[in-house]
Amino acid sequence: MHRIVVLNGPNLNLLGTREPGIYGALSLSDIERRLRERAASRADLAFHQSNHEGDLVGWIQEAGLAGAGVILNAGAYTHTSVALRDAISGSGAAVIEVHLSNVHAREDFRHRSLIAPVARGVIAGFGAMSYDLALEALLEGDRA
Ligand code: DQA
């Protein structure tokens, strides 16, 4: 069974009420529920959210050392965190970077990702479906 860890960074606990015109109406629990339904018996999912950078660093390190795949929406840390980038490159975690919104169609400061160069790939702009696509990419990638 594939082990996949889904990590969500700062302010993603507010989904559902946070700028719904940008991030949609689903809560993080809704996203977790639909992802678990999709994964069903194909993957063993762990799902976490934190507003603290160090928590995310720890979970990435654990996933990398355990050989688990990671779906990472690092929120604003995407654009600022050398620590998250180093956790990915240092642990060898197979990470798919995801965003609900199309960050490239937004403010300039969201166009740069410190994580993308050490990620397997990036999926942005498809709302909750970004997570679904990342799950498929990880499962398919393992088969290749
Ligand atoms: C986000 C995009 C980031 O720029 C922003 O800081 C977020 C959410 C997204 O999912 O679209 O918190 O990662």
Q: Which atom of ligand 1 is nearest to the CA of 76?
A: 6
Q: What is the mean pLDDT of residues 129-134?
A: 98
Instruction: Locate the domains of the chain by residue range.
Output: 2-141
Ligand 1 pocket residue status of 75, Cβ below 6 Å: yes
pLDDT at 143: 53
Is 2 annotated in the active site?
A: no
- Around Cβ 114, how many Cβ atoms within 10 Å? 18
Residue type at position 106: R
Domain 2-141 bears CATH identifier 3.30.300.130: no
Residues 6+ apart with CB under 8 A from 129: none
Token pair belonging to 46: 């762990």
* Chain-centre distance for alpha carbon 110: 16
The per-residue pLDDT for range 1-34, each reduced to its tens digit, is 799 999 999 999 999 999 999 999 999 999 999 9
The per-residue pLDDT for range 78-92, each reduced to its tens digit, is 999 999 999 999 999
Q: Per-residue pLDDT for 102 more than 60?
A: yes
pLDDT at 144: 45
Ligand 1 pocket residue status of 85, Cβ below 6 Å: no
Residue type at position 57: V
**Measured between alpha carbons, how far is residue 35 from residues 42, 104, 107, 114, 127 in Å?**
11, 25, 28, 26, 12
CA of 79 to the centre of ligand 1 (A): 9
The per-residue pLDDT for range 27-38, each reduced to its tens digit, is 999 999 999 999
